[in-house]
Structure 1
Amino acid sequence: MQYAFSDNVSSLQPSAIREILKFTSMPGVISFAAGNPASEAFPVDHIRQISADLLQKDPLLALQYNITEGYPKLRELLKKRMEAQQCFDPLADDLITTSGAQQANELACKVLLNRGDTMLCESPSFIGSLNAFRSYGVNLVGVPMEQDGMDLNALEEALRTSRNPKLIYVIPNFQNPTGRVMSLEKRKGLYELACRYNVVILEDNPYGDLRFAGTPVPSIKSMDTEHRVIYSGTFSKILAPGLRVGYVSAPAEIISKITVCKQVSDVHSNIWAQAVCAQFLEETDMDAYLEGLREVYRHKCELMIGGMRQHFSKKIRWEEPEGGLFIWCTLPEDCDMPAFCKRAVSEYKIAVVPGNAFLVDETQPSSSIRLNFSTPPDDQIVKGIRILGDMTREMLDN
C-alpha cells in the first residue's frame, strides 16, 4: 500500500542525534553524542524509598487518573520555588506539569502559532525542539548567535521582515548545543524587542541549575512586566529524565489553552513520577543537593577539557562552558565536518554530533561538533578524548 502522510509530518526527518546513537550500540564505541545526565548523579536510593512509601501508603494516588494540570502538591511546590526565583507571578501566571520540557515547548508552539506563522530561534539550537516546531508547519527562522547569545540586530531584522512573527525560542543558560550563556544585556534587549514587535518569548531552561562556574544571570521571565514570557523547566537534568516530568510557567490565559491541548494529547503526565518529584522537593535540601550535582559536572567537564588541551590539534577551537552538559568545538573551515564525524565513529569508534544537526536548515554548512561530557564514565572520557585527539592531529596537522 502507498501511504499518504499528513503535511505536518511528511517532511520530518529522523533526529541526527538518534541516528548517531545507533552506532553507540556497536561494541567498543565511546559516545560523546548523547545528552544524558551522569548516571552517578541519580539519587537512586532516595527515589526507591519514595516510591516504596508511595505504593505502600497511597497506591491509588500513583495508579489512578488525576487532573491534566498536574499533581496539585507538586504544582504548589513548584509555584513557591519558582516565585522565589522570580519565574512565577502569582497574580498573573499559572503552571502546568508536562511530560518533560519537550512537551512544554511543543505545546507552547501549538497554542500560539498557525501554519505559516514565524517562530524565531537561535542558530544553532536544540534539535528536539526544532523538530517539534517543524511538525506544526511553522516558518522557522534561525537567528545567528554571538558569544553572549542571539545577535539582536539580526533578530530585529528577522522580526521586521518575517511573515507574521509570533514566538521567539531561546535557551539562555548553557545553550544546547553551544553551552553559551545569554548575557544580561542581551536578555534585556531581547525582551525589549519582543515588546516592540508584540511577540511572545519561550524561555527554555533545562540546564540552569547546573551552573558550576561564573555568576548566575536573571531569567528573562523575571523581567516580564507585560506577561509575554513562557518559561519551561524540567526535572530531567536534576533528578532523572526517565520520570518525564517538566513544567511550564506562563500567563494564566496561555496555560488554560495548553491544558486543553494536553488533555487531547495524553490526558495528564505520569502521576507516580510527579508524586516522586513532589516528595523529593519536600524532603530535600535542594541547595545542597544541586551543589552536589554541580560538583559532578564540574569534575567531568574539567576532565574532558584537560584531555582536549593535551591531545587535540591546536587547529581546533572550543568554548569552555560555565555549566550544562556540552562543549562546542569548531574545526578549521576547510575541514569536511560531516566526514570527520563519520570517520570518528566508523574508524575510531568515537561518536560526536555534527553541528549542522542543530541548524534550522541542516543542509547549510557547519564546521562545528558537539561533545557531551556528562554521559560517559570518567575512564571513557579520558580514553575517548585521547583517541579523538589522535584523530584530529592525524587529519589536521599533516
Structure 2
Amino acid sequence: MVAIEYFYRYFYLSGELLEFIKTFQKNDIVFRIYKHMLIMKSDLPKLLLDIKEGIIDLGWGHPSARLHPLEKIKQSTLSMLGYDHAESLQYGASQGYGPFIETLARFLSQQKGYSNNKIFSNQLFITSGASQAIDFICTLFTVAGDTVLVENPTYFVVEGMLKSHKLNITGVNCNENGLDIDDLEHKLKLGLKPKFLYTIPTFHNPTGTTMPSQNRERLVSLANKYNFYIVADEVYQFIYFNEPPPTSLLDYDTQGKVISLGSFSKILAPGLRLGWIYSNPKLIKTFTDSPLAFSGGGLNHFTSTIVNELIGMNLLESHIHELQNEYLHRATVMDDALKQYFNNSIEYIFPKGGYYFWIKFINKLDTSKFLKIAEEFGVSFRPGNFFTHTSDYDSFLRLTYTLYEPNDLVEGVKRLSKVFVNGHNLR
C-alpha cells in the first residue's frame, strides 16, 4: 500500500493524474479496479514471518529474502510464457507436469549427494512442498488411532499435523548420529506397531545431525522386518557445505518402504510452494490415483512450468552453490560470535549443512525463561522444549543462521550473551 500511495501522490502533485486517468477511463472496469486499489487497506498479514520491531529473531527457520533468485525466476517465467500461451494455465496431470517430472528426474540424478541411482519419472510425484506432502501421506496411509513414530526432538509443526489426523505419536530418542536406532529397535521388539516413522535424516531440525550410512541401512532393515513406512524429510539434502551427506534413504530401500520428501523451499524460494515425493513406483501410483490429485489437476501446475524452465536454463544448480557458500559463511560468522561471547558456557557441534545450531548450556538453565528475558534485550530464538514433550532438552536452544545478514547474526548473539552474563535466575 505504501507504493500505491506514493504512486498516487506523485501523479497528483505533478499534475499528471488527469492524463493517467484518461488512459484508464477507456476501460471502465479497469478504471474502477484501479480506484479501488488506491483506497483499499488490509490488516491481514502478508507473510508468515512475524518479528517484533527491534527484535533479532534467530528462531525462524527461513531462508534469506536477499538470496531469493528473483531475476532468475523472472527470466524463466518470461521464457516459459514466450512459447507456452495456455498449457501452463490448464489443469495439470495428477502426477504433476510431465515435462517437469522428466526434467526433475534428470536434475536429481546428476546431483552429488542426492542418490547413487538413476532416478526415473515414475519415482516422482509433484507436491506443494514437504508440509503438504506429510499431510497427504497421513490422509492416504493412516486412519485415526494409528501409531506413528517421530524423533525426539523433532520439527515441532509435524506433531500438530499428525494430531490433526488423530494419530497416536510415540517419540524415539536421538543421539549424535540422529535417530537412535537401538532405541527404535527396542520399542519395536516390545510390540509397537507403527504405521510410519517420520525422520529428518540429513541436517536434522533442530539438532543438525546427519544419520550415517550404516544407520540408514539398519533403519530400512527394521522397516522391512516390522512392516512400517519411513517418511524421510530430506529437504536439507542439498544445503551441505564441504562434503555431501549420505544419499537419500531411498537408496537403501528395496521393498518400497521409504517415502522421501524434497522441496524447492530451501533451494529456490518457499513462496513457490513446490516440492516432490521420491519413492517406489507403486507408492507413487497411490498418490497419483488419489482423488485430490485428480480433481485438482495435479499440485501447483503453473509453478512447475516455471521451475521446469529454470532448471532447463541451468539456473538452479548455480543458485544452490551460491546458497551453500553464503550459508557456510553465515554459519562461520555465528560460530565465531558464539565462541567470542559465550566462551566455554555452551556446547554445540558446528553444522556441516542445513540451517541450525543446536546449543546446550553446560550449567543447566531453562531456555524458556531465557527466551522471555532475551526478548527484553532485543533478541529471540526457539527453546529446546519447543521440539519435544519431555524435559530432556530444557537446557537447549536452536539458532538459525540463514535469515539474517552476518552483522545481524553477530549482534543477535551479542544480545543473547548480555542476558546470560547479567546473572538472571534462569535455572
TM-score for the superposition, normalised by structure 1? 0.87
Following superposition of structure 1 onto structure 2, how do residues 152-163 of structure 1 map, counting pairs within 5 Å? Answer: 152-161=181-190, 163=192
Following superposition of structure 1 onto structure 2, how do residues 220-235 of structure 1 map, counting pairs within 5 Å? Answer: 220-235=249-264
Contact 2:97 2:304 in 1 (8 A): yes
Q: Does residue 326 of the first structure (1) align with residue 356 of the second (2)?
A: yes
Q: 2:279 aligns with which of 250, 254, 257?
A: 250
Q: Does residue 166 of the first structure (1) align with residue 195 of the second (2)?
A: yes
Following superposition of structure 1 onto structure 2, how do residues 1-398 of structure 1 map, counting pairs within 5 Å? Answer: 24-84=50-110, 85-86=114-115, 93-161=122-190, 163-259=192-288, 260=290, 262-263=292-293, 267-284=297-314, 286-312=316-342, 314-332=344-362, 334-345=364-375, 347-359=376-388, 361=389, 366-395=394-423
Contact 1:315 1:396 in 2 (8 A): no
Contact 2:76 2:307 in 1 (8 A): no
Give 3-state SS (helix, strand or coil) of 1:181's partner: coil
Gaps of 5+ in 2: 1-46
| Counterparts in 2 of 1:305 and 1:78: CA distance versus 1, 3 Å | same
- Which letter maps to 2:57? S
Task: Name which one, 1 or 2, has greater alpha-carbon Rg.
Answer: 2
- Which letter maps to 1:235? F
- Which letter maps to 2:338? M
Contact 1:313 1:396 in 2 (8 A): no
Give 3-state SS (helix, strand or coil) of 2:238's partner: helix
Give 3-state SS (helix, strand or coil) of 1:248's partner: strand
Mapped to 1, the partners of 2:162 and 2:294 lie a distance apart of 18
| Counterparts in 2 of 1:22 and 1:199: CA distance versus 1, 3 Å | closer
| Count of aligned residue pairs for this structure pair | 376
Mapped to 2, the partners of 1:158 and 1:171 lie a distance apart of 19
Gaps of 5+ in 1: 1-20
Identity %: 29
| Counterparts in 2 of 1:44 and 1:162: CA distance versus 1, 3 Å | farther
Contact 2:102 2:121 in 1 (8 A): no
- Which letter maps to 1:376? Y
Structure 1 stretch 138-147 or stretch 90-99: which is displaced more?
90-99
Mapped to 1, the partners of 2:291 and 2:190 lie a distance apart of 30
Contact 1:320 1:327 in 2 (8 A): yes
Contact 2:201 2:234 in 1 (8 A): yes
Give 3-state SS (helix, strand or coil) of 1:108's partner: helix
Give 3-state SS (helix, strand or coil) of 1:209's partner: coil
Mapped to 2, the partners of 1:46 and 1:365 lie a distance apart of 41
Which gives a bigger RCO, structure 1 or 2 (Cα 8 Å, sep 6+)?
Answer: 1
- Which residue pairs with 1:7 in the alignment? none
Give 3-state SS (helix, strand or coil) of 1:25's partner: coil
Mapped to 2, the partners of 1:109 and 1:88 lie a distance apart of 28
Mapped to 2, the partners of 1:333 and 1:59 lie a distance apart of 63
Cα shift at 1:384: 1.0
- Which letter maps to 2:168? N
| Counterparts in 2 of 1:24 and 1:102: CA distance versus 1, 3 Å | closer
Instruction: Supply the RMSD in Å over aligned alpha carbons.
Output: 2.6
- Residue by residue over 1:336-356, the C-alpha shift from the partner in whole angstroms, topping out at 9 and shown as x without a partner, is 2211112112x1121101111
- Residue by residue over 1:94-121, the C-alpha shift from the partner in whole angstroms, topping out at 9 and shown as x without a partner, is 3211111111122222222222222112
Cα shift at 1:333: 5.9
Contact 1:204 1:231 in 2 (8 A): yes
TM-score for the superposition, normalised by structure 2? 0.81
| Counterparts in 2 of 1:92 and 1:162: CA distance versus 1, 3 Å | farther
- Which letter maps to 1:393? V
| Counterparts in 2 of 1:184 and 1:304: CA distance versus 1, 3 Å | same
| Counterparts in 2 of 1:90 and 1:233: CA distance versus 1, 3 Å | closer
